[in-house]
Amino acid sequence: MIVQELINYLKQFDPETEVFTSITDHTDYTVTLSLDTNDIELEDELSGDNVIDDYESQFDDEGDYIGKSVLVIKLEN
């Protein structure tokens, strides 16, 4: 998804609707939190345990990130 697609998708909702994030960890414990602008960051590269396998085309043969900057919504508490 790109930012423009997200903007278009969000236009269908009442602009006063509060936004939350939700994530379930490996123990099946689910945390729901209000989304804050501090949770949204423009990152220079993808990072995480899964990204080299899941987004292989974004990395060179040495495992260095070669893709564009990405907007990340952090689902952390």
pTM, to two decimals: 0.69
Q: Read off the pLDDT of residues 38-48 as tens digits, 9 standing for 90 and up.
A: 889 999 999 88
pLDDT for residue 45: 93
Q: How far apart are CA 6 and CA 10, in angstroms?
A: 6
Q: Is 3 helix (H, G, I), strand (E, B) or coil?
A: helix
- In the chain, where are the structural domains located? 18-73
Q: Read off the pLDDT of residues 11-54 as tens digits, 9 standing for 90 and up.
A: 999 999 989 888 888 899 998 888 988 889 999 999 888 898 89
